[in-house]
Amino acid sequence: MSISIPGKIIAFDYGEVISIEPSTADRAEILRVAGAQDEPERFWNIYWLHRFALDQGTIGPKEYWRRIEHDLGAQWDTAQHHELWLRDFRSWLAIEEGTLAVLIDLQRGGTRMALLSNAGLDFTSYYRHGMLGDFFEEVVVSGELGLLKPEPAIYHELIERVGVPPADIVFIDNRAENIAGAAALGIAGHVYEGPGELRAFLTGLAESVKASSAVPPHVVL
């Protein structure tokens, strides 16, 4: 079923909207390679502590894993560094099939789309040159800009690239603070709660836009 929303650009976050959360098995393998099976909470706290710098592009993947190694007090060889990066990167590649179906139906309906993601530089080629890139007119990645959602400047970048007023953009993200950041600039937002709920929201939006465009202009006699 196509979803046609003329006059709007639907901008999507990637992580846990288009992609699914890394699986329990993926996380267990990362802990195993890191030798941190006995202190998972500490490991993940350090993992997320340095993730902001990675997503902002101020450090690359190599430095990111070196910082985690240092803070854990671990000693990893080159092979472990590469395996940790690979397992972590791969864990974020799995796509939510329900969201993919929504993207396909939006594309079938001729709806314009963009991607706005907090992610490191290693994801940029995947976003643009993998099959996902077929959906999006513009791909805005935090690591390329030195910016992170919900900083206003990253939304300004999105607005400039798609070339439409903020009111004509609808942003889908799983974090309320990122939606609030977009809303502060006049971008409509929707907090993602799952593919079924997303489809219902976008279908309702399509019907609303269709209904408003069908209203005849006021005629002055």
pLDDT at residue 48 above 90? yes
At 215 the pLDDT is 57
At 212 the pLDDT is 86
User: What are the DSSP E strand ranges found in the chain?
Assistant: 9-12, 112-117, 138-141, 169-173, 188-191
Residue % of the chain over a pLDDT of 90? 95
Rounded-to-5 percentages of helix, strand, coil across the chain? 55, 10, 35
Contact between 35 and 74 under an 8 Å Cβ cutoff? The reply is yes
Residue % of the chain over a pLDDT of 70? 96
Distance, CA of 180 to CA of 9 (rounded, Å):
18
At 217 the pLDDT is 57
CATH topology of domain 9-20+95-214: Rossmann fold (3.40.50)
Bond prior to 150 in cis (omega within 30° of 0): yes
Confidence of residue 56 (pLDDT cuts 50, 70, 90): very high
| Mean local confidence (pLDDT), 92-110 | 97
Distance, CA of 79 to CA of 3 (rounded, Å):
46
